[in-house]
Amino acid sequence: MAKLPKFTNVKDVTNLQTWIDEALYLKRNPLVFRKLGSGKCLGLVFFNPSLRTRMSTQRAAQLLGMETMVMNVGSDGWNLEFVDGAVMNGNTQEHIKDAIQVMSQYCDVLAVRAFAELKDRQADYQDKILNAFVEYATVPVVSLESAIGHPLQAFADLITIKEHQTKERPKVVLTWAPHPRALPQAVANSFVEWMQESEVDLVVTHPEGYELAPEVIKGTKVEYDQHKAFEGADFIYAKNWSSYTEYGQVLSQDESWQVTAEKMALTDNGKFMHCLPIRRNVIASDEVIDNSLVIKEAENRLFSAGIVLKKILENI
């Protein structure tokens, strides 16, 4: 059987520049492909909360003529079992492989959100829920943020950078910022991976102990001095993540890492970015957020999702 198309990682993009150009075309002509998805249904499966991903991906599908169904498995479904061969005489009521095969019969594309649990690094980095969908679904699978990546977000961020860059090769800084809770590395991982495929100079800055996975960071420059990293930057992308090395731990809540107007003044008229939702006056100050690209990034989620769904519809 031929391999199904999927979108779980930057490696699923055939030509990044073409995809960006097509997304910008879709933004100017949002209804131009409205016959493509006629009679097709996108199923969105959520293990975790969402505002942007839920609404923008549904709208993107509707603009392509698709119908959509949302299943909040995390709150409304049966308790799912993930272990193969489990004797299910406890709290789990349905095996993930049965649920996925069933949902595949109702939908032409399945999209899934399943965050990291932040307890066991090996388990999270195997991305078991997303990979169970890839393994058992009989239709194409799209990641709506998995344990280790958020490719639809990174694609929207890249589109936003392309729209706002004034230099051929902008300096893009990913900065860690403080947060009261332990958050996954998924958004940071995908941002790094997508920037590595783009014509930008990427610098990552974070306190010691917040190093991202070696297979993600590769040769990307890490600057532990946040002020130094900000110098001359064109884009500042803030995100909190919990420690990868001391897995899932909050090692620092150092407020001095908050992005402030004073810090933004070190950049070359740099633009602030964040995937949202953002904790105001924790990650960044109100002033920084109110003069940023965050709302435009969220708008571009319509077109990153639109192009991903268009590519899949063209290949099924």
Ligand X SMILES: NCCC[C@H](NC(=O)CCC(=O)O)C(=O)O
Ligand Y SMILES: NC(=O)OP(=O)(O)O
Between 133 and 241, name the residue whose CB sits nearer to ligand X. 241
Cβ(242)–Cβ(179) below 8 Å:
no
Is 151 annotated among the ligand-binding residues? Answer: yes
Helix 151-164 and helix 16-28, axial crossing angle in degrees, nearest 10: 70
Report cis status (omega within 30 of 0) of the bond before 184: no
- Least distance in Å: CB of 280 to ligand X? 11
Is 113 annotated among the ligand-binding residues? Answer: yes
Q: Is 5 in the site for ligand X (CB under 6 A)?
A: no
Between 46 and 244, name the residue whose CB sits nearer to ligand Y. 46
- Least distance in Å: CB of 131 to ligand Y? 20
Between 267 and 300, name the residue whose CB sits nearer to ligand Y. 300
Cβ(202)–Cβ(234) below 8 Å:
no
Q: Is 40 in the site for ligand Y (CB under 6 A)?
A: no
- Least distance in Å: CB of 275 to ligand X? 5
Between 228 and 280, name the residue whose CB sits nearer to ligand Y. 280
183 binding partner (options ligand X, ligand Y, none; Cβ < 5 to 8 Å by kind): ligand X
Residues 6+ apart with CB under 8 A from 15: none
51 binding partner (options ligand X, ligand Y, none; Cβ < 5 to 8 Å by kind): ligand Y
Q: Is 124 in the site for ligand X (CB under 6 A)?
A: no
Amino acid (one-letter) located at 270: G
Residue number of the CB closest to ligand Y reads: 53
Q: Is 52 in the site for ligand Y (CB under 6 A)?
A: yes
Q: Is 100 in the site for ligand X (CB under 6 A)?
A: no
- Least distance in Å: CB of 108 to ligand Y? 22
Q: Is 275 in the site for ligand Y (CB under 6 A)?
A: yes
Is 95 annotated among the ligand-binding residues? Answer: no
279 binding partner (options ligand Y, ligand X, none; Cβ < 5 to 8 Å by kind): ligand X
Q: List own/partner pairs for 55-61 with CB under 8 A and 24 or more apart.
A: 56/298, 56/301, 56/302, 56/305, 57/111, 57/142, 57/144, 57/152, 57/301, 57/305, 57/309, 59/302, 60/301, 60/302, 60/303, 60/305, 60/306, 60/309, 61/37, 61/305, 61/309
Binding residues for ligand X, rule: CB under 6 A, are 145, 150, 181, 183-184, 186-187, 275, 277, 279
